[in-house]
Structure 1
Amino acid sequence: MAGTAIKVLARMIAERGGTAATRFDLEDPRDDTRLAAPILALEPLRGLVVLDEIQRRPDLFAPLRVLADRPGTPARFLILGSASPELIRTSSESLAGRVAHHELPGLGLAEVGESHWQQSWLRGGYPPSFLATNDQTSMRWRQELIRTLLERDLPALGLRLPAETLRRFWQMLAHYLVHAGDRRFPLAERVEALPLRALAALSES
């Protein structure tokens, strides 16, 4: 899944820094339990501290502010996770002046080469989809990704709408090229957490 690429990137950042790295996967009950008392668990750590799937523990932002303000900055925190509007707002309020947001895009033509533009246009930028052995395998991967987003990830971000309703809304977006701020559809006001992009046309009609 896409999260695998993010975890690989986090490991590369840790290795490039040349310092010790400690990782917490907040989907792992063991790591979640270790952070029951966040200050006590994180304060002794040095170097890079990776907190993965932070959307499961938004309560950690307030303790991170305390830790980020320590003299000498004994530890830096790499925070990974799905970015809902509420989560970004919470992190910006709690860590104002202490945090930078970076959106990780998919593979672009600069990485895959312009000669692969048709494959990129058809399969998208997620590495498992782009690098699939054939178009059918790529399509299955994308269908499973969409299913996971609609049935698990978006509800976990607080979006309380039936998965089938969200799927139909996505289909309307695909057909009518509606961008996230468009209010022609009343449902658009309730789905601000959806990862939407307005794509320019490949060519003029």
Structure 2
Amino acid sequence: MIDRADLQNRLHQLLKSFRAVELVGPRQVGKTTLARDFVSTESPNYFDLENAASRRRLAEPMAALADLDGLVVIDEVQHMPELCEVLRVLIDRPSHIHRKGQYLLLGSASPSVMHKTESLLGRAVTLEVTGFNLNEVGADSDAANRLWLRGGFPDAFLEASDSVSATWRDAAMQRFLYSDLPQLGMNVPAPQMLRFWQMLAHTHGQIWNSAPLARSLGISETTVRRYLDHLTQTFMVRQLAPWYEDLGKRQVKAPKLYLRDSGLLHALMGVHSLPQLLAHPVCGASWEGFALEQVLRIARPDSAWYWATHAGARLDLLMLKGAQRIGVEFQRADAPKVTQSMRIAQRDLKLDALYVVYPGQHRYRMADGVEAVPLWAVLPGPAA
């Protein structure tokens, strides 16, 4: 088993302060395992809405939930969107009434999709659960390469061989397309969505352009955008928003797209081994997306963006944390270089720090305000 103590501690801290916590993320990333550390599945306070017995218990949700004390877990809450209204009433009970119950809600899509018409905005805090990260699996080269190739889904990462892991990921994508999306009301023909997903894999790390995808699929750009939103709302795709401000320059204003799990990216492209990946044209873009996800998961910035101008200047990642602006470039090279584009970004965006993340071993100063950082050094407490 992989120790996920940081994730457990974060959830524990949120439960100290909030009446309701929404634990969201793709299926099979470990949400249920995490919840079981807090409430046993045998407890009357545990409801699994993929279980018929739990659904029967919640046939009259107000009666079932109103008198429950302690932490109440509702797994796969998207199957009963009407529960949100009941939970809102329970959470908002006046302070002079004994407020029984605290709620941990597990879902496989963004809260806006799970709850549809009703919202727990202002009443619940959201914690996203992703697959394994470097902090959890270890930063040695074997573990890092395994995580890059197989992705962070626990079962895919822990399988006995790369070929079995690839089989697991292929099956997981089929379940997602044929079962999960329809259950969420995202009614797209599975073969069509698979083709779109495969096309996105070939544009991984690029700026979004709906026109060529729409032409290739024979559908409208509006429909293509809807497909993209489906994959974004179910945590399969990251749309990294562009940063733009009044700099006197024409700046790119379309999002940049990444498939969030590198293992699914490789499965979509038919890449099943590390030697195959290292020789593949997608290798550089794949590593950039993998490294970006690791940095975001471990650094947990207040917000994250990319920046690009029509003149060619760009910055892979701009993180805002408090009053600080931190720039990150990703270079899969033994000896990363300071580029003119980085200098422009450093000056125009008034960066407090600029890091070049690369797959090497040593951390060192490259230039004034620019530091080369091995991917492992983004872990908490890096070497100076």
Residues of 1 paired with 2:80 and 2:332: CA distance? 46
- Aligned in 2, Cα 1:85/1:159: closer, same or farther, shift over 3 Å? farther
- Contact 1:150–1:166 under 8 Å retained in 2: yes
Aligned pairs for 1:57-136 within 5 A: 57-70=80-93, 71=95, 72-84=98-110, 86-87=112-113, 90=116, 93-115=118-140, 116-136=143-163
Residues of 1 paired with 2:111 and 2:137: CA distance? 31
- Contact 1:123–1:130 under 8 Å retained in 2: yes
Instruction: Please tell me whether residue 22 in structure 1 is matched to residue 48 in structure 2.
Output: no
**AA of the residue aligned to 1:193:** H
Match of residue 193 from structure 2 = 166
Match of residue 21 from structure 2 = none
Tell me which moved more, 160-169 or 179-188.
Answer: 179-188
Select which of 42, 59, 68 maps to 1:36.
59
Match of residue 237 from structure 2 = 196
Structure having the higher helix fraction is 1
**AA of the residue aligned to 1:117:** A
**AA of the residue aligned to 2:151:** G
1:169-199 superposed Cα distances (whole Å, 9 cap, x missing partner):
1110111126796533324312212121316
**AA of the residue aligned to 1:36:** A
**AA of the residue aligned to 1:196:** V
SS of structure 2 residue aligned to 1:138: helix
- Contact 2:30–2:129 under 8 Å retained in 1: no
SS of structure 1 residue aligned to 2:132: coil
Q: Identity percentage over the alignment?
A: 40
Question: Displaced runs of 4+ in structure 1, greater than 2 A?
Answer: 1-5, 70-73, 84-91, 178-188, 199-205
Aligned pairs for 1:50-61 within 5 A: 50-61=73-84
SS of structure 2 residue aligned to 1:49: strand
- Contact 1:2–1:128 under 8 Å retained in 2: no
Residues of 1 paired with 2:101 and 2:167: CA distance? 41
Residues of 2 paired with 1:14 and 1:39: CA distance? 20
- Contact 1:53–1:80 under 8 Å retained in 2: yes
Residues of 2 paired with 1:144 and 1:69: CA distance? 42
Tell me which moved more, 161-170 or 81-90.
Answer: 81-90
Match of residue 30 from structure 2 = 5
The unaligned stretches of length 5 or more in structure 2 are 1-25, 214-220, 239-257, 260-283, 288-330, 334-384
Structure having the higher strand fraction is 2
**AA of the residue aligned to 2:171:** E
Residues of 2 paired with 1:178 and 1:156: CA distance? 29
Structure having the higher Rg: 2
- Contact 1:106–1:126 under 8 Å retained in 2: yes
Residues of 2 paired with 1:135 and 1:143: CA distance? 12
Note the C-alpha offset of 1:122.
0.4
SS of structure 1 residue aligned to 2:126: coil
The unaligned stretches of length 5 or more in structure 1 are none
- Aligned in 2, Cα 1:73/1:25: closer, same or farther, shift over 3 Å? same
Note the C-alpha offset of 1:4.
7.4
